[in-house]
Structure 1
Amino acid sequence: MTAILRLESRKRLRASIVLVVVFVLLSALYFSMFPSVEEEMEELADAFPDFFFELFGIEALHTIEGFIAAEIYSFFWVVLVAIYFAYVGAGMIAKDVRERKMDLTLSNPVSRESVVLQKVSALWVPLVVLNTAVPLVVYVGALVIGESFDPVSLAMVHLLSIPYLLVCAGIGLLVSVLVDRPRSARATAISLVFVLWLVDGVSRLDPDFEWIGAVTPSRYYDETAILVHEEYALADAGLLLVTFLVLVAVAALVFARRDI
C-alpha cells in the first residue's frame, strides 16, 4: 500500500542533498561577507530607492538577521526552493503518464487518489532534509563570525515556510494532472510560482493595488518579519495549509476522472 511512497521518497533524497550543498556554499559566501560590509550597510541601503526594499521585503540589513533574510531567504528560499517544489509537483503525474509508467502503476490494486496522495507524501523528504540541515548551517555560520540567531525565530522561519512550499508543490501537482507533457507542466508551474511571487512584490509598491497580492502564496509567508521582528503569522500558515489541501483534493479529483 505504500510502495509508491517509498519509491518516490528515495527519488527525492539526492536532489534534497544537492540543494543543501548549494545552500552551504551560498551561506559560506554571505557569512564571510557580512563582517566586512556590516558597517557600510546603512549607507548602502540609502543608495537604493525605497521601492527596491519594498519589492523584496528587505530591512535591517545592518543586522545579521536582516542581512541573511535578504541575501539568502528572500531569494534562495522564497523563490528558488519554491520553484524546486513546483518543479517536483509538476512532474509527479505528467512524467509517469508521458512515459507510460502510470499504466503499469494503475494495473495494480491501487486507486488514482492513492497514487496522488503517496506521491505528494514523498515531499516529506525534501521538507525534512532542508528544514533540518539549513537552519543548522545558518546557526553555526553565524556563530563562526561572532554573531548569533534567536533559535526560536530561526526554527519558526523554517517551520512556517513548510505550508508555503507545499502550496507551490500543490500548484505544480494541479498543473501535472492537467498538462500531458512533463516539460510543459514543469515550465507552467515554475512560471506560475515565479509570476505569483513577482505580483506579490509589485503589488506592495502601491497601496491601491496591494489587494492583488492577496491571491499569492508568498503574501502569507514573511521571512523578514519572522527573523527581524519575531512575528509569527500562524493564521497565515494555516491558510496556506488549507490551500495546499484544496489543491491536492482538486488534483486527485481531476486525475480520478481523467482518461489516460
Structure 2
Amino acid sequence: MTAILRIESRKRVRGSVVLIAVFALLSALYFSMFPGIQEEMDVLEEAFPGFMFELFRIEELHTIEGFIAAEIYSFFWVLLLGIYFAYIGAGLIARDVQDRRMDLILSNPISRESVVLQKVGALWVPLVALNVGVALIVYVGAILIGEAFNPVALAMVHLLSVPYLLVCAATGLVASVVVDRVRTARAAALGLVVVLWLVEGVSRIDPDFEWVGAAAPSRYYDHTAILVHEEYAFGDAGILLAAFLVLVAVAVFVFTRRDI
C-alpha cells in the first residue's frame, strides 16, 4: 500500500544531497565574507536602492542574522527553493502520464487519491533533509567565524518555511494534474511562483498596493522577522498549511475525474 511512497522517497534523496552541498558552498562563501565586510555594511546599505530592501526584506546587514537572512534566505531559500519544490510538484503526476507509466500504476489495486497522496508524502525527504542539513550548516558556520545564531530563531526560520515550501509544491501538483506535458506543467508552476513572489515584493514598496500581494505565499513567510526580530508568525504558517491542504484537495479532485 505504500510502495509509491517508498519509491518516490528514494527518488528525492539524490536531489536533496546535491542541494545541501550547494547550500554548504554558498554558506562557506558568505560566512568567509562577513568578518571582512562587517564594518563596511553602512556603505553597502547606502549603495543599495531603497526598493531592494523591501523586495528582499533586507534589514540590519551589519549583524550575522541580517546578513545571512539577506544573502541566503531572501533569494536562495525563499525564491529558488520555492521554485525547486514547484518543479518537483509539477512532475509528480504529469511525468507518469506523459511516459505512460500512470496506466500501469492504476492497473494495480490502488486508488487515484492514494497515488496523489503518496507522491506528495514523498516530499518529506527534501523537506527534512534540507531544513535539518542547512540549519546545521548555518549554525556551525556562524560559530566558526566567532558569531552565533539564536538556535530557537534558526530552528523556527526552517520550521516555518515548511508550509511555504509545501504550498509551492502543491502549486506544481495542481499544474501536474491539469496538464499532461511535464514541461508545460513545470513552466506554469515555476512561472506562477516567480510572478507571485515578484508581485508580493513589489506590493510592499507602496503601502497603497500592499493588498495586491495577499495571495502570494511569500507574504506569509518572513524569514527576516524570524531571524532578526525573533517574531514567529504561527498564524501565517497556519494560513499556508490551509492553502496547501486546499491545493492538494483540488489536485485530488481533478485527478480522480480526468481521463488518463
What TM-score does the superposition give when structure 2 sets the normalisation length?
A: 0.99
What secondary structure sits across from 1:231 in the alignment? coil
> Percent identical across equivalent pairs?
75
* Equivalence for 2:83: 83
Q: Give the whole-Å Cα distance in 1 for the aligned partners of 2:150 and 2:207.
A: 32
What does residue range 184-199 of structure 1 map to in structure 2 within 5 Å?
184-199=184-199
1:37 is the counterpart of 2:37: yes
For 2:251 and 2:156, locate their aligned partners in 1 and report how far apart those are by CA, in whole Å: 29
Structure 1 unaligned residues grouped into runs of 5+: none
Q: Quote the Cα distance in structure 2 between the aligned partners of 1:200 and 1:181.
A: 29
1:258 maps to 2:240: no
| TM-fit CA distance, 1:201 | 0.4
**Is residue 10 of structure 2 the alignment partner of residue 7 of structure 1?**
no
- Give the structure 1 partner of residue 140 of structure 2: 140
Deviation, 1:49, is 2.4
Separation in 2, partners of 1:42, 1:213:
30
- The amino acid that maps onto 2:126 is P
Which deviations, in whole Å up to 9, do the C-alpha atoms of 1:36-72 show, x marking residues without a partner?
0000001210122221101111010000000000000
Structure 2 letter corresponding to 1:133: G
What aligned pairs does 1:1-260 form with structure 2 within 5 A after superposition? 1-260=1-260
Cα distance in 1 for partners of 2:60, 2:256 equals 49
What letter matches 2:140 in structure 1? Answer: V
Matched to 2:212, the amino acid is I
Shift of 1:187: 1.0
Give the distance between the partners of 1:126 and 1:49, measured in 2 at CA: 35
Q: Which amino acid is the alignment partner of residue 4 of structure 1?
A: I
**Aligned counterparts of 1:118 and 1:198: Cα–Cα separation in 2:** 32
Secondary structure of the residue aligned to 2:148 is coil
Deviation at 1:226, TM superposition (A): 0.2
Number of residue equivalences? 260
For 2:41 and 2:207, locate their aligned partners in 1 and report how far apart those are by CA, in whole Å: 28
Provide Cα deviations, 1:139-182, integer angstroms capped at 9, x if missing partner. Answer: 00000000000000000000000000000000000000001100
Q: Secondary structure at the match of 2:86?
A: helix
Unaligned runs of 5+ in 2: none
